Structure 1
Amino acid sequence: MIVEIIGHKHAGLSASIDMIQQFSRTTSSHDELLALFPPVGSQIDAVIEQIHRWHPPVSVRLSIRPADLEAMTWHCDFCGEQITLSPGGDALILDSRSNDGPGSHTVISHRSCLAERIRPENTGERARAMKIGKMC
């Protein structure tokens, strides 16, 4: 699959679509079916569902499900509740990297779940966790 992620200029990027999710649902119309299974060679919009950076090349899982194109949700890695990743949502996406080798790990959390886990005496970092990325 040839993928262009707007705003990302990384060579060696591989991508896949979660076909289990695609095949696991029924459709109510022919147009809806075509949206779920676009023809080979077509140009489509997708949202990034997961990014794996443990080993090069970076691997991206995409979703083309209509609901995901409108509001992407995931589970908070701390509390397990649903969280909205789309603009206006309450998600923080944290990449953790080692200082002594390649690879990274992504943690997705509610702002409040992260803030609760920061030491209480570190009020500045707790406040920043609640504000980062929000429009002023």
Structure 2
Amino acid sequence: MGKQLMERFEAESMALMPGQRVRARVLSHHPWGVLVEIAGYENAGLSASIDMIQQFSRITSSHDELLALFPPIGSHIDAVIEQIRRWHPPVSVRLTIRPADVESLTWSCDFCGERITLSPGGDALVLDSRSIDGPGAHTIISHRHCLAERIRPENGGEQARALKVGKMC
């Protein structure tokens, strides 16, 4: 009666993060959007999609106009990772193809709620929290200063690192 061990967390998708540009191939169309596979992650067991209604329904005046924006099945597109959910398998990745997001993706800081730029050159930090007790991870988006302000003042070294991580010296 062997107990099957569960992996604490899936590691392959940890290389992906919100704000990252990716190349994807469109696999299928659905009423809400499209399923895609991310180049380099074809066999990673990821579920990747683009919610076309969420992204484009406000700027289109008809269903046909919205459908015309769906990239063709089999086409390769540039996209940006908007969200990653690693709570349970399969890892779920939501992409955006809105031109403004591809140029510079913004999101709300999970601490203060203000907008923050996730694209390269922005001031966002992406934190992945995991538990020692089991699988799954949760992604938190934060301004550098919001994270630094929440670190105890007597831990000044960690505050300083939060303000500098990922920045060129």
Please indicate the TM-score interval, normalised by the length of the shorter structure: 0.7 to 0.9
**Which residue does the alignment assign to 1:47?**
80
Distance 2:83 2:72 in 1: 23
* 115, 130, 133: which one aligns with 2:148: 115
The one-letter amino acid paired with 1:76 is C
The match for 2:94 is 61
TM-score by length of 1: 0.87
In structure 2, the partner of 1:78 is: 111
Structure 2 residue identity aligned to 1:4 = I
CA distance in 2, matches of 1:129, 1:114: 7
- DSSP-derived class of the 1:80 partner: coil
Matched residue SS, 1:120: coil
- The answer for the alignment partner of 2:24 in structure 1 is none
Q: Which has the higher strand share?
A: 2
Q: Which residues of structure 2 form unaligned runs of 5+? A: 1-34, 61-65
CA contact (8 A) 1:84 1:90 kept: yes
Mapped pair 1:25 → 2:23: no
CA distance in 2, matches of 1:66, 1:34: 17
Q: Given the superposition, is the C-alpha separation of residues 75 and 26 from structure 1 closer, same or farther in structure 2, using an over 3 Å criterion?
A: same
Structure 1 Cα separation of the partners of residues 36 and 127 of structure 2:
27
Structure 1 residues 97 and 9: CA distance shift in structure 2, 3 A: farther
Q: Which residue of 2 aligns with 1:30?
A: none
Compare relative contact order (CA 8 Å, sep 6+) and give the higher one, 1 or 2: 2
Identity of aligned residues (%): 78
Quote how far apart the aligned CAs of 1:51 are: 0.3
Q: CA contact under 8 A between 2:36 and 2:50: conserved in structure 1?
A: no
